[in-house]
Chain A
Amino acid sequence: MTMIEAIRDAMAVAMTRDPNVVVFGEDVGYFGGVFRCTQGLQQKFGASRCFDTPINESGIVGTAIGMAAYGLRPCVEIQFADYVYPAYDQIVSEAARLRYRSNGDFTAPLTIRMPTGGGIFGGQTHSQSPEALFTHVAGLKTVVPSNPHDAKGLLIAAIEDDDPIIFLEPKRLYNGPFDGYHDRPVTPWSKHPLGEVPEGHFTVPLGQAVVRRPGTAVTVLAYGTMVHVAIAAAEATGIDAEVIDLRTLLPLDLDTIAASVTRTGRCVVVHEATLTSGFGAELAALVQETCFYSLEAPVGRVAGWDTPYPHAQEWDYFPGPARVGEALQAAMAG
Chain B
Amino acid sequence: MIIRSPAFQDRSCMSDPAPLSLHVPAPSVRPGDRPDFSGVHIPRAGTVPRPPVDVAPEEIRDHAYTIIRVLNRDAEAVGPWAGSLSDEEALQGLRDMMKVRVFDARMLMAQRQGKTSFYMQCLGEEAIACAFQKALAPGDMNFPTYRQQGLLIAGGYPLVDMMNQIFSNDADPLHGRQLPIMYSARSHGFFSISGNLGTQYVQAVGWAMASAIKGDTKIAAGWIGDGSTAESDFHAALVFASTYKAPVVLNIVNNQWAISTFQGIARGGAGTFAARGHGFGIPALRVDGNDYLAVHAVAKWAAERARRNLGPTLVEYVTYRVAAHSTSDDPSAYRPKTESDAWPLGDPIERLKNHLVARGVWSDARHAQYNAEVEAEVLAAQREAEGHGTLHSGGKPSVRDMFEGVYRDMPPHLVRQRRQAGV
Contact = CB atoms under 8 A, between A and B. Distances in A.
Given A54-B239, A106-B192, A65 B203 contact: yes
Contact of A103 (B232, B235, B239, B405): B405
Contacts of B346: none
B405 A99 contact: yes
Given A54-B243, A101-B177, 6 more contacts: A65-B206, A66-B206, A69-B141, A72-B213, A90-B199, A106-B191
B201 to A, nearest CB: 8
A58 B232 contact: yes
Interface of A: 22, 48-49, 53-54, 56, 58-59, 62-67, 69-72, 86, 89-90, 93-94, 97-107, 138-139, 141, 162-163, 207, 250-252, 254-255
A105 B185 contact: yes
Given A64-B206, A90-B199, A139 B406 contact: yes
Interface string B231-255: 0110111011001000000000000
Contact of B239 (A22, A59, A93, A101): A59
Contact of A139 (B196, B204, B205, B407): B407
Contacts of A99: 405-408
A170 B421 CA distance: 37
B186 A163 contact: no
Query: Chain B CB within 10 Å — which of A63, A98, A138, A251 has the most?
Result: A63
Interface string B198-214: 01001111111111111
26 contacts: A54-B243, A62-B199, A62-B203, A62-B206, A66-B209, A66-B210, A67-B206, A69-B191, A70-B206, A70-B211, A86-B232, A89-B196, A89-B199, A93-B196, A94-B203, A98-B192, A101-B192, A103-B174, A103-B184, A105-B184, A106-B184, A162-B408, A163-B408, A207-B411, A207-B412, A252-B412
B202 A105 contact: no
Query: Chain A CB within 10 Å — which of B141, B207, B211, B212 has the most?
Result: B207
Contacts of B175: 103
A94 to B, nearest CB: 5
Contacts of A251: 407, 411-413
A140 to B, nearest CB: 9
Contacts of A90: 199, 202, 233
Contacts, number: 146
B194 interface: yes
B143 to A, nearest CB: 7
Query: Chain B CB within 10 Å — which of A65, A72, A105 has the most?
Result: A105
A48 B213 contact: yes
B196 A71 contact: no
B80 interface: no
A94 B236 CA distance: 15
A264 to B, nearest CB: 22
Contacts of B143: 66
The 5 closest A-B pairs by CB, nearest first: A66-B206, A63-B206, A62-B202, A251-B411, A59-B236
Contacts of A107: 408
A189 B93 CA distance: 67
B173 interface: yes
Contact of B220 (A65, A66, A162, A254): A66
A269 to B, nearest CB: 17
A76 to B, nearest CB: 10
A185 B214 CA distance: 48
